[in-house]
Every structure is written in structure tokens, then in C-alpha cells.
A and B are shown apart, each in its own frame.
Chain A
Amino acid sequence: MPSPGYRREMPQRYRLEAAKCKKCGKVSFPPRLVCSGCGSREFDKTKLSDNGKIVTYTTIRVAPAQFTTQVPYSIAIVEVDNGVRITTQVVDCKPEDLEIGKKVKLVFRKLYSEGHTGIICYGYKAILI
């Protein structure tokens, strides 16, 4: 069955929607109820840039069941152009292609499927540019 969390997180996973604090301007991704910068509860909706760079990364060689066909694959912390850091899979490359500081673009991809008959879950991943 589709998890309520997946449905709830669509704005972030699909469209990179974030929350910008009306008081101090800090951008939270995923959106928060309380700003971690100033404690304010008032936010504007904003969208993360889909361009960024690799801050650090690791390579997964022993994967959870959903991802075994993809090994070896890389997970990186990416800092997008408006300063927010996100954790994401980096695809369409070999692990040895990755370097700290390399530029990436966030793209829309399948994250996993709930088996052969369940729903397909989508979201963002990064590719090297």
C-alpha cells in the first residue's frame, strides 16, 4: 500500500518545495513547523535550485533489498545553489566519477517500486553535469 509519508512528501520530492522563514530568511528543506534559526512559525513557500555541487559522498556496495540491482551506487550530500544541503543518490555515472566539488543537477527519477504490482515512488536524484 502507498505509505502516507510518500503522499505527504510529494511537494518536496517532486518539486523541491522548501519553506523560507519570514523572519530570518532561513530556508528549511524539507519544510519545518518551527524555524531552526529563529524559532518563528511563519514561512513562505520557496523552491530549491536544481543545480548544486557535491559536498561529500559515499558508495553503497551492499544495498537494501529495493536497491540490490543498482550496486555499486553513490549517495552524496549536495549543496544546492541556494545553500541548502540535501542527501541524494547520484546516478548515470560510476562511483569513481564522483569528486567533492563536482557540479550536479537534480532530476526527476523513480526512487523505488512497491514490488511488481505496487505503486512506483518518484523523487529527485542528482546527475553529474
Chain B
Amino acid sequence: MIGIVGYGSYLPRYRIKVEDIAHQWGRDSETIKRGLLLKEKTVPGLDEDTITISVEAAKNALKRAGIDPGEIGALYIGSESHPYAVKPSGTVVAEALGVVPNVHIADYEFACKAGTEAMFVAYGLVKADLVKYAMGVGADTSQGAPGDALEFSASAGGSAFIFGKEDVVADVLDTFSYTTDTPDFWRREGAFYPLHGGRFTGIPAYFKHVLGAGKAILERSGYKPSDFAYAIFHMPNGKFPLTAGKKLGFTKEQMEPGWIVPLMGNTYSGSSPTGFSATLDIAKPKDLILLVSFGSGAGSDAFIFKMTDRINEVRDKAEKLKSMLENNRIYLDYGQYAKYRGKIIMNE
């Protein structure tokens, strides 16, 4: 079977609490925590960006895969915060990993689902026998305008997945994508912060696509929600994925291990892939896992994975997501956060 041979994640150590952001803008933190089910979020260090996050996540994936990086024939980075407008993130990542020069590289952008896009294409190339191994990465240092609701969730982190045919830890049983032109969230060329369509982002965007992809993949695969050990849905806030999962027939217990948004925030392209990585950290052989991403604009990619016995051999070879989420946290106040996120205008 074709599937994941190695996976890894990376989260920055810096955090800001919902209370600190709410205090800055005169908002009631308890209302926001209750409404969005968020407690805190990750913040990239001054020297971190999508490229450095991708490199660290990919190094963890390579540790688990135990393969020669030179055998990776394709490397794709999905993000909506690539550091360059023109110059790929992927070339820097590939150079840092020792994957160059015999490799196909591209950067993807599809709002929050660019990570699963990278995974989907990596999987497809291995399935087509064009490359032996392919890596898909979802990583972001997400933007949210000061004072906007997004500022409570937009965070940083990412995950990397290496696809191959040998020594697989999670077989890909099926994939499905559901896409329409939906203007729910966007950032124009040159604009610093994204804009969103308020309430328009819920039912016509997130729920339509997540439920559309989720229902379709369940129908065509013949699996029922109760057949799955775990399910992960894109996490723009705490509430949306739980609501979508419930509508599809999943329980909170099935979603809990991958529902990392209360402590991580929304890492955009890294969101559902990192929830999936957290789930791989605890999944058992033969477990079925459903992953459904969502990207504004809008679309969802769905995957069904089946765990193999090899997961027990590889999961301890790199740091687990829970450890990254709960250890070595450094809390910033809003002033420090504004500096770290480049929200203060400085002289050159």
C-alpha cells in the first residue's frame, strides 16, 4: 500500500493567552474563550517563519521515516505565509534537509488547506510511481489583523509527511476533494492582513465544504463514522470542528486527540495536518483515521488512513506533539507579541 512512512511536527515555544489579546482591545476574555473554545495560541519567534518551521517538522518526519533524504523525489510546502512572494520556500527547506538537487519542488497556497494539498500531490506522485518518496508539508505563521477575531486564533506551527510504498505507518485508503469558488476569506497581493466575510465564513464556507468532503468520502468508501478510531477536522476555532464532526456522526472522544486548537490556535495550513500528527502519536495499529481539511476560497481535502504495526516502532523517534504543546512554553504580553509578529512599524 501507499501511505505515510514518516511524520513530524514543530511548534514554536512562544505563546500568548486569550486574556492578553482581549485586554488589549477591551474585549471580554471569558466570552471569547467560551465562544471560540480557545485558551492560548503559539507565536513564532523573531527568527522563525514558514521555512524554519517546515525544516524542523521535516527533520522530525525524517527521523521517523529513517530514509536517506536524497531519495525524496518531490517536496511541497503548503502555506499562506511563505516568506517570499517570489522565491520558493521549498528550495530552502530541501537544501537544509539535504534533498537537493534531484527533486521536484513547489510551494502551494490555498488558504488553510495548502498543507493537505501538498500531502495530496505527494501521495499522488508516489501512487503514480513517478518518485520513490515525496514529502508534503503544511506550515504557517498565520496573520490576523490587530483587534480582529482572527487575532485570537492565528498561530504558528506545522507538520510534514513523507509518502512512500515501503515501511508505511499509515496506509492511505481513500482521498476526496470538494471545491467551489466561495469568497469567504482572502488577502489581496500586497495586503498585510487577510479579510473575512464574517458570518459568511460558517455555513456557506467551512461547513459546506468540510461536510461535503466528509460525507462524500464516507459514502464512496463505505465506512461509517463508528468504524473510525479518530477524526480530525480543520480547526479555525474550537467550536467549528466539533460541530462539523458531530453533524457527520463522530463523537467528541474520536476527535479529542486531534482537537489541539484550544492550546495551539489555528496554524492555518498546519492546522488539520498537526491535529493529524497528534493523533498519529497515539493511534494503534489497524485504527482508521479520517482527516478533513478546509481552505477558504474554498475547498476541503479528505483522507482515510489505516494504521499499520510500524507506528509502534517509529512514534518515539521524534518529539510528540503533546510534548511540544505543553512543555517549554514562553508567554508573551501583547506588546511583546506585537513586536514578534511585526505589527510595530520600525525604521529600516
Interface residues of A (CB under 8 A from B): 10, 14-15, 69-70, 91-93, 107-111, 115-116, 119-120, 122, 125, 127
Contacts and interface: CB of A to CB of B under 8 A. Distances in A.
A110 B96 contact: no
Interface of B: 12-14, 45-49, 51-52, 55-56, 59, 83-84, 87, 92, 95-98, 328, 330, 339, 346, 348
21 contacts: A14-B92, A14-B96, A15-B96, A15-B97, A15-B98, A69-B46, A70-B47, A91-B45, A92-B12, A92-B45, A92-B328, A107-B52, A107-B56, A108-B56, A109-B52, A110-B51, A120-B49, A120-B51, A120-B83, A120-B84, A122-B92
Contacts of B56: 107-108
A108 B56 CA distance: 7
Given A92-B330, A122-B96, A109 B47 contact: yes
Contacts of B12: 92
Contacts of A93: 330
Nearest to B97: A15
B339 A69 contact: yes
A91 B12 CA distance: 11
B49 A108 contact: no
Given A14-B96, A92-B330, A122-B92, A69 B346 contact: yes
Contacts of A119: 87
Contacts of B52: 107-110, 122
A2 B96 CA distance: 18
Given A91-B47, A92-B45, 11 more contacts: A14-B92, A15-B95, A69-B46, A69-B339, A70-B46, A91-B45, A108-B52, A110-B46, A110-B47, A115-B348, A122-B51
B81 to A, nearest CB: 13
Given A115-B348, A122-B52, A10 B95 contact: yes
A120 B84 CA distance: 9
Nearest to A109: B47
Contacts of B55: 108
Nearest to A50: B59
A78 B278 CA distance: 32
A111 B96 CA distance: 14
